[in-house]
Protein backbone atom coordinates (compact mmCIF):
# COMPACT_ATOMS: atom_id res chain seq x y z
CA UNK A 1 0.00 0.00 0.00
CA UNK A 2 1.32 3.43 -0.93
CA UNK A 3 0.81 6.06 1.77
CA UNK A 4 3.78 8.42 1.65
CA UNK A 5 3.47 8.94 -2.09
CA UNK A 6 1.87 7.59 -5.23
CA UNK A 7 2.85 6.85 -8.80
CA UNK A 8 1.04 9.10 -11.23
CA UNK A 9 -0.56 7.39 -14.19
CA UNK A 10 0.09 9.22 -17.47
CA UNK A 11 -3.07 10.99 -18.63
CA UNK A 12 -3.67 9.84 -22.19
CA UNK A 13 -6.80 12.04 -22.51
CA UNK A 14 -5.13 15.45 -22.35
CA UNK A 15 -6.39 16.42 -25.79
CA UNK A 16 -10.03 15.77 -24.87
CA UNK A 17 -12.30 18.78 -25.54
CA UNK A 18 -14.35 19.53 -22.41
CA UNK A 19 -15.47 23.01 -23.50
CA UNK A 20 -19.14 22.00 -23.56
CA UNK A 21 -19.11 21.28 -19.82
CA UNK A 22 -19.36 23.52 -16.78
CA UNK A 23 -16.06 25.28 -16.03
CA UNK A 24 -15.96 24.35 -12.34
CA UNK A 25 -16.81 20.72 -13.00
CA UNK A 26 -14.05 20.58 -15.62
CA UNK A 27 -11.61 21.99 -13.06
CA UNK A 28 -12.57 19.24 -10.61
CA UNK A 29 -11.82 16.66 -13.29
CA UNK A 30 -8.16 17.48 -12.68
CA UNK A 31 -8.26 16.10 -9.13
CA UNK A 32 -6.14 13.00 -8.60
CA UNK A 33 -8.05 9.91 -7.46
CA UNK A 34 -6.57 6.72 -6.01
CA UNK A 35 -6.06 4.06 -8.67
CA UNK A 36 -6.58 0.50 -7.44
CA UNK A 37 -6.03 -3.10 -8.31
CA UNK A 38 -8.97 -5.49 -8.05
CA UNK A 39 -8.27 -6.07 -4.33
CA UNK A 40 -8.44 -2.39 -3.33
CA UNK A 41 -4.68 -1.92 -3.15
CA UNK A 42 -3.51 1.53 -4.21
CA UNK A 43 -1.27 1.30 -7.27
CA UNK A 44 -1.03 4.97 -8.22
CA UNK A 45 -2.84 8.20 -8.88
CA UNK A 46 -5.21 8.78 -11.77
CA UNK A 47 -7.06 11.96 -12.66
CA UNK A 48 -10.79 12.11 -12.10
CA UNK A 49 -11.15 12.75 -15.82
CA UNK A 50 -9.10 9.75 -16.88
CA UNK A 51 -10.70 7.41 -14.34
CA UNK A 52 -14.22 8.26 -15.54
CA UNK A 53 -13.67 7.87 -19.28
CA UNK A 54 -15.27 4.67 -20.57
CA UNK A 55 -12.28 4.23 -22.90
CA UNK A 56 -10.09 3.74 -19.82
CA UNK A 57 -12.69 1.92 -17.73
CA UNK A 58 -12.96 -0.66 -20.49
CA UNK A 59 -9.21 -1.19 -20.11
CA UNK A 60 -9.65 -1.90 -16.41
CA UNK A 61 -8.93 1.46 -14.75
CA UNK A 62 -10.43 1.29 -11.25
CA UNK A 63 -10.51 3.88 -8.46
CA UNK A 64 -11.54 4.24 -4.81
CA UNK A 65 -14.80 5.97 -3.85
CA UNK A 66 -17.20 6.37 -0.94
CA UNK A 67 -20.95 6.68 -0.45
CA UNK A 68 -22.26 8.45 2.64
CA UNK A 69 -25.74 7.77 4.02
CA UNK A 70 -26.61 10.46 6.57
CA UNK A 71 -29.64 9.98 8.82
CA UNK A 72 -31.21 12.55 11.14
CA UNK A 73 -32.46 11.92 14.66
CA UNK A 74 -35.80 10.74 13.20
CA UNK A 75 -33.88 8.04 11.28
CA UNK A 76 -34.73 9.72 7.97
CA UNK A 77 -32.16 9.48 5.17
CA UNK A 78 -30.88 12.60 3.43
CA UNK A 79 -30.97 12.33 -0.38
CA UNK A 80 -29.52 14.70 -2.92
CA UNK A 81 -30.26 15.34 -6.57
CA UNK A 82 -27.05 15.92 -8.46
CA UNK A 83 -26.75 19.25 -10.26
CA UNK A 84 -27.30 19.44 -14.00
CA UNK A 85 -23.74 20.79 -14.23
CA UNK A 86 -22.28 17.43 -13.15
CA UNK A 87 -20.40 15.63 -15.93
CA UNK A 88 -21.35 12.12 -14.78
CA UNK A 89 -24.95 11.28 -13.88
CA UNK A 90 -26.29 14.86 -13.92
CA UNK A 91 -29.80 15.42 -12.51
CA UNK A 92 -29.82 11.97 -10.84
CA UNK A 93 -31.10 11.37 -7.32
CA UNK A 94 -28.72 9.55 -5.02
CA UNK A 95 -27.67 9.01 -1.41
CA UNK A 96 -26.38 11.86 0.74
CA UNK A 97 -22.92 12.23 -0.76
CA UNK A 98 -20.86 10.19 -3.22
CA UNK A 99 -17.31 11.07 -4.20
CA UNK A 100 -13.66 10.03 -4.08
CA UNK A 101 -10.76 10.20 -1.64
CA UNK A 102 -7.83 11.93 -3.29
CA UNK A 103 -4.31 10.60 -3.78
CA UNK A 104 -2.99 12.75 -0.94
CA UNK A 105 -1.18 11.67 2.21
CA UNK A 106 -4.17 12.35 4.47
CA UNK A 107 -6.75 10.60 2.27
CA UNK A 108 -4.61 7.55 1.44
CA UNK A 109 -4.56 6.45 5.09
CA UNK A 110 -6.21 3.04 5.38
CA UNK A 111 -6.12 2.56 9.16
CA UNK A 112 -9.74 2.57 10.34
CA UNK A 113 -10.65 3.93 6.88
CA UNK A 114 -9.42 7.35 8.00
CA UNK A 115 -8.56 8.53 4.50
CA UNK A 116 -12.02 7.73 3.18
CA UNK A 117 -13.68 9.32 6.23
CA UNK A 118 -11.62 12.49 5.82
CA UNK A 119 -12.70 12.66 2.19
CA UNK A 120 -16.33 12.16 3.20
CA UNK A 121 -16.12 14.99 5.71
CA UNK A 122 -14.50 17.24 3.11
CA UNK A 123 -17.12 16.52 0.44
CA UNK A 124 -20.10 16.85 2.78
CA UNK A 125 -18.94 20.40 3.39
CA UNK A 126 -18.15 21.07 -0.28
CA UNK A 127 -21.43 19.72 -1.66
CA UNK A 128 -23.93 20.32 1.14
CA UNK A 129 -22.33 22.94 3.38
CA UNK A 130 -22.26 20.56 6.36
CA UNK A 131 -19.73 21.75 8.93
CA UNK A 132 -17.03 19.16 9.79
CA UNK A 133 -17.75 19.44 13.51
CA UNK A 134 -21.29 18.20 12.82
CA UNK A 135 -19.92 15.02 11.22
CA UNK A 136 -16.81 14.08 13.26
CA UNK A 137 -14.64 11.34 11.85
CA UNK A 138 -15.29 8.97 14.74
CA UNK A 139 -19.04 9.07 14.08
CA UNK A 140 -18.78 7.58 10.59
CA UNK A 141 -19.54 3.86 10.58
CA UNK A 142 -17.82 1.93 7.79
CA UNK A 143 -19.96 -1.05 6.76
CA UNK A 144 -18.45 -2.69 3.68
CA UNK A 145 -17.24 -2.14 0.10
CA UNK A 146 -18.89 -2.70 -3.24
CA UNK A 147 -17.19 -3.04 -6.63
CA UNK A 148 -19.33 -1.96 -9.56
CA UNK A 149 -19.08 -0.63 -13.11
CA UNK A 150 -21.68 1.54 -14.83
CA UNK A 151 -21.64 3.75 -17.94
CA UNK A 152 -23.14 7.25 -17.61
CA UNK A 153 -23.28 7.96 -21.34
CA UNK A 154 -21.17 6.99 -24.30
CA UNK A 155 -18.08 8.79 -23.01
CA UNK A 156 -18.24 8.74 -19.19
CA UNK A 157 -18.90 6.15 -16.52
CA UNK A 158 -17.96 4.77 -13.11
CA UNK A 159 -15.73 1.87 -12.12
CA UNK A 160 -15.19 1.99 -8.38
CA UNK A 161 -14.57 0.17 -5.17
CA UNK A 162 -17.02 2.10 -3.06
CA UNK A 163 -16.75 2.36 0.75
CA UNK A 164 -20.17 2.53 2.40
CA UNK A 165 -20.32 4.98 5.32
CA UNK A 166 -23.33 5.55 7.60
CA UNK A 167 -23.61 8.48 10.00
CA UNK A 168 -26.40 9.77 12.21
CA UNK A 169 -26.42 13.52 12.75
CA UNK A 170 -28.71 16.52 12.72
CA UNK A 171 -27.10 19.02 10.37
CA UNK A 172 -27.72 22.39 8.75
CA UNK A 173 -27.59 22.37 4.96
CA UNK A 174 -26.22 25.03 2.63
CA UNK A 175 -26.02 23.19 -0.71
CA UNK A 176 -23.50 24.15 -3.37
CA UNK A 177 -25.72 24.74 -6.41
CA UNK A 178 -22.92 23.67 -8.75
CA UNK A 179 -23.01 20.24 -7.09
CA UNK A 180 -26.54 19.75 -5.76
CA UNK A 181 -29.87 20.62 -7.39
CA UNK A 182 -32.17 19.49 -4.56
CA UNK A 183 -32.25 17.62 -1.25
CA UNK A 184 -34.85 15.85 0.84
CA UNK A 185 -35.16 13.59 3.85
CA UNK A 186 -37.12 10.35 3.46
CA UNK A 187 -38.31 7.58 5.74
CA UNK A 188 -37.72 3.98 4.76
CA UNK A 189 -41.25 3.64 3.38
CA UNK A 190 -41.01 6.95 1.55
CA UNK A 191 -37.79 5.84 -0.12
CA UNK A 192 -39.31 2.53 -1.20
CA UNK A 193 -42.21 4.44 -2.78
CA UNK A 194 -39.87 7.00 -4.36
CA UNK A 195 -37.66 4.35 -5.95
CA UNK A 196 -40.61 2.14 -6.90
CA UNK A 197 -42.22 4.96 -8.88
CA UNK A 198 -39.01 6.46 -10.26
CA UNK A 199 -39.18 4.93 -13.73
CA UNK A 200 -42.85 5.83 -14.18
CA UNK A 201 -42.19 9.39 -13.02
CA UNK A 202 -39.07 9.86 -15.11
CA UNK A 203 -36.90 10.18 -12.00
CA UNK A 204 -33.27 9.28 -12.61
CA UNK A 205 -31.32 7.35 -9.96
CA UNK A 206 -27.57 6.78 -9.81
CA UNK A 207 -26.51 3.17 -10.45
CA UNK A 208 -24.56 2.78 -7.20
CA UNK A 209 -27.56 4.00 -5.20
CA UNK A 210 -29.81 1.48 -6.94
CA UNK A 211 -27.34 -1.34 -6.28
CA UNK A 212 -27.05 -0.46 -2.60
CA UNK A 213 -30.82 -0.08 -2.32
CA UNK A 214 -31.53 -3.50 -3.84
CA UNK A 215 -28.78 -5.41 -2.05
CA UNK A 216 -28.18 -3.86 1.35
CA UNK A 217 -29.83 -0.61 2.37
CA UNK A 218 -32.99 -1.68 4.19
CA UNK A 219 -31.38 -4.34 6.36
CA UNK A 220 -28.73 -1.81 7.41
CA UNK A 221 -31.31 0.91 7.98
CA UNK A 222 -33.36 -1.42 10.19
CA UNK A 223 -30.29 -1.77 12.43
CA UNK A 224 -29.33 1.91 12.38
CA UNK A 225 -28.86 2.03 16.15
CA UNK A 226 -27.02 -1.30 16.21
CA UNK A 227 -24.76 -1.10 13.18
CA UNK A 228 -21.88 -3.05 14.69
CA UNK A 229 -23.81 -6.21 13.83
CA UNK A 230 -23.91 -5.17 10.16
CA UNK A 231 -20.22 -4.51 9.58
CA UNK A 232 -18.56 -6.65 6.89
CA UNK A 233 -15.21 -4.90 6.82
CA UNK A 234 -13.13 -7.33 4.78
CA UNK A 235 -15.47 -8.22 1.93
CA UNK A 236 -15.54 -6.51 -1.46
CA UNK A 237 -18.97 -7.26 -2.88
CA UNK A 238 -18.62 -7.72 -6.64
CA UNK A 239 -21.78 -6.22 -8.14
CA UNK A 240 -20.65 -6.33 -11.75
188-199 residue pLDDT tens: 999 999 999 999
Question: Of the residues 35, 158, 160, 179, which is catalytic?
Answer: 160
Active site residue 160: yes
Q: What is the mean pLDDT of residues 64-90?
A: 97
**∠164-168-173 over CA atoms, to 5°?**
100
pLDDT band at 16 (very low <50, low <70, confident <90, very high): confident
Query: What's the confidence (pLDDT) of residue 180?
Result: 98
Q: What is the mean pLDDT of the chain?
A: 93
Q: Does 11 score more than 60 pLDDT?
A: no
Question: Of the residues 98, 127, 158, 179, which is catalytic?
Answer: 98
Distance (Å, rounded) from C-alpha 89 to C-alpha 233? Answer: 28
pTM exceeding 0.85 = yes
Looking at per-residue pLDDT, the higher value among 9 and 40 belongs to: 40
Active site residue 112: no
Distance (Å, rounded) from C-alpha 56 to C-alpha 48? Answer: 11
pLDDT tens profile 144-163: 999 999 998 889 999 999 99
Amino acid sequence: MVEDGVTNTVDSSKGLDLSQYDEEQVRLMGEMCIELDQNDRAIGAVSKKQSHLMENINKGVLHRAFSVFLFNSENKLLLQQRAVEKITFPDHWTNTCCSHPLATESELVEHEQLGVKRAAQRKLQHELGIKPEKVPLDKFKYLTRIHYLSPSDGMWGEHEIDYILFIKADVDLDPNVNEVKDTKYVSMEELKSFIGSAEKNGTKLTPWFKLIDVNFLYKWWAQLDNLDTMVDANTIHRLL
